[in-house]
Structure 1
Amino acid sequence: MLKVLGKIGLLAPAFAVGAAWLVVLRMKDVPVPLLVAYGLLLAGAVVGLLWPGVFGRPATRRRVPAYLGVLAGLGTLGLYLAVVYYVTDLPVLLALAAVACLVWAAAAFLRGRRAAGGREARSTRRAFLSGGAGLVLGALGVLSVDRVERQRREVLARGEQERRAAVRAPGARRRIDDGAVRVFPIHTGDTIVTYGQFYGGLDGWEGLNGYLRTLVDKAQIAVPVFAYLIDHPRHGLLLVDSGVNWEQAHDHDGYYNHNQMVSRLLTQRDEYRLTPDQDLRVRLARLGYDAREITTVFLTHVHDDHAGGLRGLPQATVVLDRRDWEHGTVYPYSFDLVKDNLSFPAFDSGAFGPFPAAQDHFGDGSLVLLPTPGHSPGHMCVLLRLDSGSVLFMGDTLYTLPHLATDQVRQMTIGGVDTTRQLEAARRIQSLLAADPATVPLFAHDNTRYQSGLVASAFAHGTPGEEGVRELRRYMESVLTPGWRLRPGHTPHFVPPPSGADLGRVEFR
């Protein structure tokens, strides 16, 4: 009885690890039929090793599990090399192969010592062949380290060349210096997300269930990633969020291999798309600014599509909520160059409208930080005073303008108390916007006409003016009722991709 219970105890974790591995492979776009066949092979190998009697006669009880195990091992290696392998794995794989050969050689040598006659000679030959192969593989592993590092340097050098070429391309602007507060939306590429993650918060995309669905659901769309440059006559050059960087988009596995293999396994290689002219440093240069002039980055939260650009801003002070830094940081590599330049607001400036706590960052009312936890432990929004009104940088509290209709359109939420906090923050934002008709929201991922048409036009030169603010508010009122309901024609719907394409799109109707 104890033996059976022990085998069951081994079976459960083996199946759990196998299921996790199948989820990773599905996330990497391995076809479902192939996964089913591979999963059955894994299950057969595990069951055969624990209960060989299921395969009938004694002659088959050893052979079938061995064959299934070999096939499962080869399948695992093949799938790993096809969809997970990254060049930095080469030295590790060669080292593992070398160790396996040396272990095999030692085992063959010991068998030969116990054998007699011809068997001893055969075992000795196998030991020498296996040992020689192990030494060769070990030497190749050592030599490959330098080659791998050289290849990564070449990848980064190519990115630098593309960035410089984009900076020199015709059409750059001259910096405007007339004493006005200016805001420039900066499109730093796109992120690929599932439609449900972006719009399915009212359809079961919540908590752990929602996260698991993001791993396997292939109804995907591309949404923009925006950072915002603030040119302030009194406080210098500021940035709200920093978007993604070139490495995240073009050397994804290398970027996420700095922490641990799990980071690379649980992210998708094509989750970011960024052209050379969308690089944050390029966009700043083409607006007439230098990234080295940025003094402060206000980080709405620590998620990597908002923090990746910090790699190009080592001199900046990064202002973020301490709760996010201590409890929400998943990929600290993005912060390596600024981790000594962090500043945590105390939110001790008193209430601000519907918000019970706020931080008047400069002490003159020009920029106010508002805690909006929920999407992350210490998410915050940023309110900036302009000459013609105010802008509210939303971060990811709400993804798009239609998301202000929180009872009709909702993104995936963490669940439990975090969902409650995020909805409370959204209600406070609604109250703030309703109380001040000269305040307009600016989003980090808006994929609607509000961002691509209205915001792009109003802030083309950094200063929307009073008429620009009124135009943005008029458009808001054409999308949303005073009760924060969507008007007809503005409800999002997923449109599947055409044959041969991998991404769907969103229609509003």
Structure 2
Amino acid sequence: MLKILGKIGLLVPALAVGAVWLVVLRLKGVPVPLLVTYGLLLAGSVVGLLWPGVLGRRATRGRVLAFLGVPVGLGTLGLYLAVVYYVTDLPVLLALAAAACLTWTAALFLRVRRAAGDRGARQTRRAFLAGGAGLALGVLSGLSVDQVERRRREVLARGEQERQAAVRAPGGRRRIAGGAVRVFPIHTGDTVVTYGQFYGGLDGWEGLNGYVRTLVGKAQITVPVHAYLIDHPRHGLMLVDTGVNWEQARDHDGYYDMTSRLLTERDEYRMSPGQDLRVQLARLGYDAKEISTVFLTHVHDDHAGGLRYLPQATVVMDRRDWEHGVLYPYSFALVKDNLSFPAFDSGAFGAFPASQDHFGDGSVILLPTPGHSPGHMCVLLRLDAGSVLFMGDTLYTLPHLAVDQVRQMTIGGADTIHQMEAARRIQNLLASDPRIVPLFAHDNTRYHSDLVASAFAQGVLDEDGVRELRTHMEAVLTPDWRLRPGHTPRFVPPASGTGLGSVDFR
């Protein structure tokens, strides 16, 4: 009985790991028929090794290994090389192969001690061959480290050349002088998402079900990733979020390690050289080294990637996101000692029961809006003509303010409730003050591409700009936060049947 329970104890985690691996492969775009065949072989080999008799009276563990284990092993290696492998893995793979050969060598020598005659001699020869192969692979692993580093330096050098060329391209300008607070939207590239993830929160894209549909859904679109530069006469240069960095978009597999590559898509980010955060700052007349403060709405990598360029900046973020949010250490490696966590003890602000007056002069107010992440926050900046509310990912676009009609994928449970509570508070705040305009991180409508771009072309939002943005908002949304005709999103499949679709509004 104990033996059976022990085998079951091995079977359950083995199948669970196999299921996760299959999900990862599906995320990487491996065709379903191939996954089904591979999954059956994988499950059969696991069950067959534990209970050989299940596969037939003549089945043995040796035959299971030969007829199922070997194809599964070769298939696993092939799938890994096809969808996950990057040259930086080479030293690790060679080291693992060396360790396997040396382990086999040790096992053979143990068998030699129990063998005699010709059989012992054969085992000895095999042991020496395996040991020699292990040592050779170990040496190759060490030698490959320098080659991998050289290739990495070459990739980064090409990126630097592209960046410098983009900085020198026509159209750059000098920093605009003056005492006004200036805000510059910065488009740091695009991210590829499923349409349902972006617009399907009311159609079943919630919680675990939403994540599964994200993995298998291929109705994809691209949406922008925006950060915002603030040039403040009293508080210096600041950023709200930092967008995507060059390596994430142009050298994805080199930026992320082996484990992270399993959980991310190779082509999830797209960026032209001119969209690099450092390039755009330079073309506005600024230097990334001058940024003193970053207000991070949340820790997700498409908002935190640019932190790699800002080691001198103080990063202001909610402690809950740092302790419980899903973050990648690469983006935070250079700023982890420069974090500042607001206490949200400045009292109520409008519909928000808690807030943080960051500088103590009312110029920047931090508002907790948990839900999309444990410690998501929005940032309100006061200007002479009004105020801007940086939304982060609480709501993706202007139409998302109609949360009962348009909703992004949410985490589910209490997190969805918290996110919707935050959205209602934002609605109340916008309704209470017609001089507040919202700015979004991923808005893919003409609100951002046309009106926001025009209103902030020189960095200063004047009264006419506030009026135009609010007038457009009222043309899209009714006073009770419903969409007016002509503004409901609809997925448009790609013309060729493959590739990325687009979004139409009707």
Instruction: State the TM bucket, normalised to the shorter chain.
Output: over 0.9
Contact 2:182 2:460 in 1 (8 A): yes
Q: Name 2:379's counterpart in structure 1.
A: 382
Contact 1:303 1:329 in 2 (8 A): yes
Q: Map of 1:310-325 to 2, 5 A cutoff? A: 310-325=307-322
Matched position secondary structure for 2:302: helix
Q: Name 2:356's counterpart in structure 1.
A: 359
Contact 1:206 1:415 in 2 (8 A): yes
Residue 148, structure 1, aligned to residue 145, structure 2: no
- Cα distance in 1, alignment partners of residues 298 and 354 from structure 2: 17
Q: Name 1:173's counterpart in structure 2.
A: 173
Structure 1 residue identity aligned to 2:178:
D
Contact 2:53 2:59 in 1 (8 A): no
Matched position secondary structure for 1:373: coil
Residue 478, structure 1, aligned to residue 480, structure 2: no
- Cα distance in 1, alignment partners of residues 476 and 446 from structure 2: 11
- Cα distance in 2, alignment partners of residues 60 and 292 from structure 1: 65
- TM-superposed deviation, 1:119: 3.2
Q: Name 1:37's counterpart in structure 2.
A: 37
Matched position secondary structure for 2:97: helix
Of 481-490 and 152-161, deviating more is: 152-161
Spell out, residue by residue over 1:219-264, the C-alpha distance to the aligned partner (whole angstroms, 9 max, x if none): 221110000111122222111111110111122233222xxx4322
Of 1-10 and 57-66, deviating more is: 57-66
Q: Name 1:302's counterpart in structure 2.
A: 299
Q: Name 2:286's counterpart in structure 1.
A: 289
Q: Name 1:250's counterpart in structure 2.
A: 250
Give the TM-score, by structure 2 length. Answer: 0.96
- Cα distance in 2, alignment partners of residues 10 and 35 from structure 1: 23
- Cα distance in 2, alignment partners of residues 322 and 111 from structure 1: 57
Identical counterparts, % of pairs = 83
- TM-superposed deviation, 1:116: 4.5
RMSD: 1.8
Q: Map of 1:155-170 to 2, 5 A cutoff? A: 155-170=155-170
Matched position secondary structure for 2:299: coil
- TM-superposed deviation, 1:152: 1.7
Alignment CA distance shift 1:364-1:331 (3 Å) = same
Of 47-56 and 294-303, deviating more is: 47-56
Spell out, residue by residue over 1:165-188, the C-alpha distance to the aligned partner (whole angstroms, 9 max, x if none): 111111101221122221110000
Q: Name 2:100's counterpart in structure 1.
A: 100
Matched position secondary structure for 1:88: helix
Contact 2:49 2:64 in 1 (8 A): no
Structure 2 residue identity aligned to 1:410:
R
Matched position secondary structure for 1:99: helix
- Cα distance in 2, alignment partners of residues 478 and 267 from structure 1: 38
- Cα distance in 2, alignment partners of residues 282 and 209 from structure 1: 39
Structure 1 residue identity aligned to 2:145:
V
- Cα distance in 2, alignment partners of residues 347 and 101 from structure 1: 57
- Cα distance in 2, alignment partners of residues 60 and 46 from structure 1: 13
- TM-superposed deviation, 1:112: 4.5
Q: Name 1:66's counterpart in structure 2.
A: 66
Q: Name 1:432's counterpart in structure 2.
A: 429
Contact 1:244 1:305 in 2 (8 A): yes
Contact 1:192 1:270 in 2 (8 A): yes
- TM-superposed deviation, 1:211: 2.4
Structure 2 residue identity aligned to 1:365:
G
Give the TM-score, by structure 1 length. Answer: 0.95
- Cα distance in 1, alignment partners of residues 65 and 22 from structure 2: 21
Q: Name 2:418's counterpart in structure 1.
A: 421
Structure 1 residue identity aligned to 2:169:
A
For residue 409 of structure 2, the aligned residue among 412, 418, 426 is 412
Spell out, residue by residue over 1:430-479, the C-alpha distance to the aligned partner (whole angstroms, 9 max, x if none): 01111111111000000111111111111111123211211111111111
Matched position secondary structure for 2:366: strand
Structure 1 residue identity aligned to 2:313:
A
Alignment CA distance shift 1:153-1:228 (3 Å) = same
Query: Please, which runs of 5 or more residues in structure 2 have no aligned partner?
Result: none
Number of residue-to-residue matches in the alignment: 506
Contact 1:187 1:224 in 2 (8 A): yes
- Cα distance in 1, alignment partners of residues 295 and 59 from structure 2: 69
Residue 507, structure 1, aligned to residue 474, structure 2: no
- Cα distance in 2, alignment partners of residues 331 and 291 from structure 1: 21
Matched position secondary structure for 1:58: coil
- TM-superposed deviation, 1:110: 4.3
Q: Map of 1:54-133 to 2, 5 A cutoff? A: 54-58=54-58, 62-133=62-133
Of 49-58 and 443-452, deviating more is: 49-58
Q: Name 2:194's counterpart in structure 1.
A: 194
- Cα distance in 1, alignment partners of residues 144 and 134 from structure 2: 15
- Cα distance in 2, alignment partners of residues 397 and 59 from structure 1: 57
- Cα distance in 1, alignment partners of residues 2 and 170 from structure 2: 76
- Cα distance in 1, alignment partners of residues 55 and 308 from structure 2: 57
- Cα distance in 1, alignment partners of residues 32 and 460 from structure 2: 51
- TM-superposed deviation, 1:203: 1.5
